[in-house]
Structure 1
Amino acid sequence: MKNYKIVDMTVGSPLKHILIFTIPLVIGNIFQQLYNMVDSIVVGQYVGKAALAAVGACGSMNFLFFSLSFGLSNGVGILVSHRFGAKDEEGIRKTISSAYFVLTTVSLIITAIAFFLAPVLLRLLDTPSSIINDSISYIRVTCLGILGITLYNGVAASLRALGDSRTPLYFLIFSSIMNIVLDLVLVINFNMGVVGVALATVISQYASAVVAFIYAFRNVEYFELTKEAFKPDMDYVKQEIRLGVPLSLQSSMIAFSCLVLQGVVNSFGENVVAAFTITSRVEQLVQQPYNSIGTALMTYSGQNIGARKIDRVKKGFRQSAGIVAVFSVLMIAVMYIFGKNISGIFVSDSEVINMSYTALKITSPFYFALGMIYVPRSLLNGCGDTGFAMINGITEVAGRILFSQLFLYFGLFGFWSVWVTTSATWALTSVVCMMRFFSGAWMRGVKEEQVYRRKLKLSVPNIAIKRA
């Protein structure tokens, strides 16, 4: 290995591994969220609340298009972690080389679909006429960055699967700083409005992908471009699709449910759209520690499933749940005390600020439920139980659609129903995720690993499978 440090999570303290792995992820994910945060702040403060609403109206649609390729990147990472836990170096190489083909092909297809379909979806969502042209421009430019962000995520997911969560952080810091500088230059100096912030994001995404690939090719032997790398192993392509497609569908279903909720938000007018944009950006930031712990658990559980160490997986789950509980209580206090100040960062309109502050007080008591979606779901994905991803996606779709329509039909909560719907959906989904974990169904991944090892004629001790 060319001076490249990997981390074996199948030995040592689970809590120590998870925390050390999580901290760079938290920092990195916060920087990644700066893409959206800075976009919103710049257009809100320098262009106006209509531009802020135009960017916000694209949030769920961006999530939909980007999530389709994100799922495949995570599928690659899961497979790499399994092969690493099993000490199968050849399997790692074949997984990564096959990923070039899978991620590039899917990204190009999604980019074409997104570019031409975006205006139709925005109209179907009843996007206010005052902002729809800016929304179409913003979404069309940002979707051109799908290939860049997918390739970056493919490299990052593979590095994390090998136990390295620090190196992808450096790439994110680099691209985030570039994004901030370009936002300010293109919007303030060149007066490019929403197109400027979208273009800044795309340039930054491709820059991070290029830097990540250069680093990986020079420092990690599994990424070397050989003749075999341009001939994807179809067995590994099928495995990546088997793991990645359910994750993509899960994310796309969640994104679809967010689109439906965005349609409800749009029906209440520009101020509610702006307030919902602010709370969404804040909640995306709050979610980053949960997301980071989840990513750490995905790698941790993947390696330990590959090594067939079930008890370590369970212990990692318990300790991660404790971290989520402590952070959630802290964030409730922050939102109740500083929520109005946080809202004021995005816009100067007092009505929008007060509305978003009240909304944060509605959703923040449900942060623990939100965190307990990420913990079991990521662990299950890491163990190869990606079939549950479909159940999880269906749950979030049902929650957002049914709750929002129910509240509207009976006239409950008025426009506040959009935030009550969010809270209720978090609660419902977390219960379903916890039920899946405690059912023990995820442990069938151990059996699949045993089959794989027998195929390679590796030693396979028998492991008793018990309920969680």
Structure 2
Amino acid sequence: MEQDMTKGSPFKVLIMFTLPLAIGNIFQQLYNMADTIIVGRYVGADALAAVGSTGTVMFLLNGFAQGITAGFAVLTSQRYGAKKTEGVKQSVSNGILLSVIGAVFFTAASILFMKPLLYLMNTPENIFADAYCYISLISLGMVANVFYNLFSAYLRAVGNSKMPLFFLVLSACLNVVLDLVFIINFQMGVAGAAWATNLSQAISAVLCAVYIYKKVPSLVPEKRHWRIHRGDTRFQLATGIPMALQFAITSSGTMVMQSAINLFGSEAVAAYTAAGKIHSLLTQGMVAMGQTMAVYSGQNYGKGDAARIRQGVRAALVIEVIYSLVSAVIVYSALEPSLGLFFSGEVDLTAMMPWARTYITICTLFYVPLCTIFIFRNTMQGCGYGFLPMMGGVVELVARLAVAVVAMNIHSYWLACACDPAAWVGAGVFTGVSYLYVMNKVQKSLGAGMPSHGLSEKQH
């Protein structure tokens, strides 16, 4: 089920690879939504607000796992495109060893700094205890999160986007079942939702590892590969750390935005959380196209075909602009009927709707610049360029911070919701210009005869 993305129509290749990823991302959002829906309906609106108030911290934790592991897999993708089978195995073992170190370090740091972070984010006092309980337990599951993302990234690196989808769907279903058992039967509250997420991710990670060992021999290292390789470590950290930092920087901006939202009370937080989940669900096609472009550009960079990378970017832009417009219509239309899923009949939805509608209305107007960020950023990362995509995250942070500070000072919910669109426009322009600059460098390096990143002559 491996796929060589250096051949065939770019449009068709991108569509076929992106579809399973999009479905998988949607299921991942669904099982994240399951926590909030079940908590909201069976524990209460305050518990929903508690889980929702940690959403940006969750984005940071998940972003670290996705960013660092996607960065580690760039080298695998490039070597796979260059047909360097020995180098592929070596990059896999090196990434696994680095991931063990990274997961342990980040788990410890998360637990140590979580309580001060929640205070810094203006978490309302009436939901603070539940918020801290939930996110602390999620932090304990970082190892499972990292390794599911790592194994999925390795499968995507060799063109297999279907099996990660299969395991993710299974994990999503299991998460819903565990949510119901832990929250309704065992009365575990928000702690039950956290444990359900951790266990489902752990099972998914194990299944991915077993599948790779049994079915994808090109990704299975041999005994001689199991050590830290200096050259691979240098490249993987140089790619993975900026990608993880980019998520960290972006999530820092969303934390600032969450801090502004938190000032309007638990009702606003709950409504914003529910609307944000619906928004996230419909934008997963954009995320999936970004993941696809990282693999597509990585394989074609490894092959040395800059022209095909440009063709892929043009095809991706056409696909995503259409997707953005359709998604905007769907998410705006589905908001009112969907909002009722998150709350029990005791909650007054008419009071929630203005908060939710304001956020969704502002966001949907800016879906086109949002989709371009994923395409440009991941294309650069697939070619081994991590700094400029990371700086795109800095642009997002600055934009969110500037708008959030004004929103908090004048106490404007509308302006607090505008933090996201301001970040998308700024980062869209920055990453677009950066992409043109990087592609000129890529063209020159490939024209000189050999990629300049990650393809050591020693890796045959």
TM normalised by structure 1 equals: 0.93
Cross-structure match for 2:348: 349
Deviations along 1:288-307, one digit per CA (max 9) or x if unpaired, are 10011111111111111111
Matches within 5 A, 1:3-82: 5-82=1-78
Cα distance in 1 for residues equivalent to 2:358 and 2:455: 57
Supply the AA of the counterpart residue of 1:199: W
User: 1:427 and 2:428 equivalent?
Assistant: no
Cross-structure match for 1:122: 118
Cα distance in 2 for residues equivalent to 1:226 and 1:89: 12
Supply the AA of the counterpart residue of 1:263: S
Deviations along 1:40-60, one digit per CA (max 9) or x if unpaired, are 100111111100000011111
Closer, same or farther: CA 355–447 of 1 in aligned 2, 3 Å: same
Closer, same or farther: CA 251–108 of 1 in aligned 2, 3 Å: same
Closer, same or farther: CA 317–62 of 1 in aligned 2, 3 Å: same
TM normalised by structure 2 equals: 0.94
Deviations along 1:214-243, one digit per CA (max 9) or x if unpaired, are 111111223435322432222211211011
Cross-structure match for 1:463: none
Deviations along 1:27-78, one digit per CA (max 9) or x if unpaired, are 1001111232111100111111100000011111122233223222011221
User: 1:133 and 2:132 equivalent?
Assistant: no
Closer, same or farther: CA 445–228 of 1 in aligned 2, 3 Å: farther
Deviation at 1:387, TM superposition (A): 1.3
Contact 1:305–1:446 at 8 Å: present in 2 too? no
Helix, strand or coil for the counterpart of 2:365?
helix
Supply the AA of the counterpart residue of 2:429: V
Deviation at 1:455, TM superposition (A): 5.0
Closer, same or farther: CA 355–455 of 1 in aligned 2, 3 Å: closer
Closer, same or farther: CA 355–27 of 1 in aligned 2, 3 Å: same
Deviations along 1:159-190, one digit per CA (max 9) or x if unpaired, are 10101100110110111010000001111111
- Higher mean alpha-carbon deviation, 213-222 vs 59-68, is at 59-68
Cα distance in 1 for residues equivalent to 2:282 and 2:79: 32
Deviation at 1:99, TM superposition (A): 1.0
Query: Of the candidates 163, 166, 181, which is equivalent to residue 177 of structure 2?
Result: 181
Helix, strand or coil for the counterpart of 1:391?
helix
Cross-structure match for 2:387: 387
Contact 2:88–2:219 at 8 Å: present in 1 too? no
Cross-structure match for 1:375: 375
Matches within 5 A, 1:226-245: 226-245=222-241
Cα distance in 1 for residues equivalent to 2:452 and 2:374: 29
Contact 1:243–1:384 at 8 Å: present in 2 too? yes
Cα distance in 1 for residues equivalent to 2:179 and 2:80: 40
Query: Of the candidates 284, 288, 299, which is equivalent to residue 303 of structure 1?
Result: 299
Cα distance in 1 for residues equivalent to 2:98 and 2:218: 17
Supply the AA of the counterpart residue of 1:234: R
Contact 1:278–1:356 at 8 Å: present in 2 too? yes
Cα distance in 2 for residues equivalent to 1:445 and 1:294: 21
Helix, strand or coil for the counterpart of 1:335?
helix
- Unmatched segments (≥5 aa) in structure 1: 460-468
Helix, strand or coil for the counterpart of 1:450?
coil
Deviations along 1:352-373, one digit per CA (max 9) or x if unpaired, are 1332123212211111111111
Contact 2:407–2:413 at 8 Å: present in 1 too? no
Deviation at 1:441, TM superposition (A): 4.9
Helix, strand or coil for the counterpart of 1:18?
helix
Contact 1:385–1:445 at 8 Å: present in 2 too? no
Helix, strand or coil for the counterpart of 1:345?
helix
Query: Of the candidates 180, 198, 206, which is equivalent to residue 202 of structure 1?
Result: 198
User: 1:363 and 2:359 equivalent?
Assistant: no
Question: Quick one: percent identity of the two aligned structures?
Answer: 33
Cα distance in 2 for residues equivalent to 1:133 and 1:149: 24
Q: How many residues align?
A: 453
Cross-structure match for 1:404: 404
Cα distance in 1 for residues equivalent to 2:208 and 2:333: 40
Helix, strand or coil for the counterpart of 1:30?
helix
Deviations along 1:342-395, one digit per CA (max 9) or x if unpaired, are 222212432113321232122111111111111111111111121112211110
Cα distance in 2 for residues equivalent to 1:336 and 1:279: 10
Q: How large is the RMSD of aligned CA atoms in angstroms?
A: 1.9
Cα distance in 2 for residues equivalent to 1:346 and 1:458: 52
Contact 2:278–2:335 at 8 Å: present in 1 too? no
Contact 2:301–2:451 at 8 Å: present in 1 too? no
Closer, same or farther: CA 422–357 of 1 in aligned 2, 3 Å: same
Contact 2:92–2:220 at 8 Å: present in 1 too? no
Matches within 5 A, 1:142-291: 142-224=138-220, 226-291=222-287
Cα distance in 2 for residues equivalent to 1:457 and 1:150: 29
- Unmatched segments (≥5 aa) in structure 2: none
Deviation at 1:453, TM superposition (A): 9.0
Cross-structure match for 1:97: 93
Query: Of the candidates 97, 104, 108, which is equivalent to residue 112 of structure 1?
Result: 108
Contact 1:94–1:232 at 8 Å: present in 2 too? no
Deviations along 1:91-137, one digit per CA (max 9) or x if unpaired, are 10110011111001100111111112111111121211100000110
Cross-structure match for 1:444: 442
